[in-house]
Structure 1
């Protein structure tokens, strides 16, 4: 039986988590759910605002690969190198565009977002929801 490429990527994600330590507390299966949801919606433009690359980043990049889309991951500058390495090791670097500017300055230029994930660990991120230009058909 042929293995689903998404399962392979998410296994890589779990291996990355073991290698680089815990990436935070998440519900089991939540990354698979997020990836399946974005892929099932056939999301072409996926936008993530986060404090660092995480299993969710890999899951969203895997969804972008399945749909032929791309993931714009907006991160702080200090974690850029580490985040790029994680994505490179997952084999998904062609699906991810990293941006390090202030999310409130980048999001207005991201039009018709099909799927977004905003890491709300920092209460300042909650204000970003108003800046999301979501695709009304998704």
Structure 2
């Protein structure tokens, strides 16, 4: 099996996220990631977050998980971050939040079969999240937001992931503070030979009006 794109689910999550996040910073990133996670029918969506960070992406991923009947998990470094995250999500109307606190190695070891992973390049440990992620055998989508950060200078997908991880394709989008994404192939067979026709995904930044089109 491998990830299968479902455009109807992507559109529903996208529209719902626009309505929910219209007053938040980073809403364009949230809308895109929500549509991607929902479109790929992700069942285990994991993200990293730390105190003081924008909440829009979290809302978008929670919306996606609702549409896929999946699980959205946020990993935070300490109790202070957990408390602020839960409070902010509740204010936004997201009452069902799953938050894990602890070191990256400990937390990621218990999250098996990740379909969709979002890490923040502002966190110094974002590379550890990528390297330690236990990805789904059917494939996964990985996203690095705030990719213009100095901490992400010289970043390369092939050098960041665990040995043997098969990167099918990558794309860098000038959305928000930079969004670097990678599609990881399934464990069985050749993704390039089995994959169907590429689909064009269209995203319009609600604030700037800019249109971004890339292959899904």
Shorter-chain TM-score category?
0.7 to 0.9
Instruction: Verify: 1:12 aligned to 2:20, yes or no.
Output: yes
2:94 aligned partner: 92
Map 1:1-138; keep pairs closer than 5 Å: 4=12, 6-15=14-23, 17=24, 22=25, 26=26, 29-52=28-51, 54-76=55-77, 77-94=79-96, 96-138=97-139
Give the ranges of 4+ consecutive aligned residues of structure 1 lying more than 4 Å apart after TM superposition. none
Between Structure 1 and Structure 2, which shows a larger proportion of strand residues? 2
CA deviation map 1:62-90 (0-9, x unaligned)? 10011111111011321222211221123
Structure 2: gaps (5+ residues)? 1-11, 140-216
CA contact (8 A) 2:55 2:89 kept: no
2:188 aligned partner: none
SS at match of 2:37: helix
CA contact (8 A) 1:9 1:58 kept: yes
CA drift of 1:36 comes to 0.4
Give the TM-score normalised by the residue count of structure 1.
0.78
CA deviation map 1:14-38 (0-9, x unaligned)? 33x3xxxx5xxx4x62211100000
CA deviation map 1:55-113 (0-9, x unaligned)? 1111100100111111110113212222112211233222x301111222110110001
Q: Choose 1 or 2 for highest CA Rg.
A: 2
Q: Assess, with a 3 A threshold, how the Cα gap between structure 1 residues 30 and 9 changes in structure 2: closer, same or farther.
A: closer
SS at match of 2:88: helix
Give the TM-score normalised by the residue count of structure 2.
0.52
Specify which structure has the bigger relative contact order, considering alpha-carbon pairs within 8 angstroms and separated by 6 or more residues.
1
Superposed CA RMSD in Å reads 2.0
Structure 1: gaps (5+ residues)? none
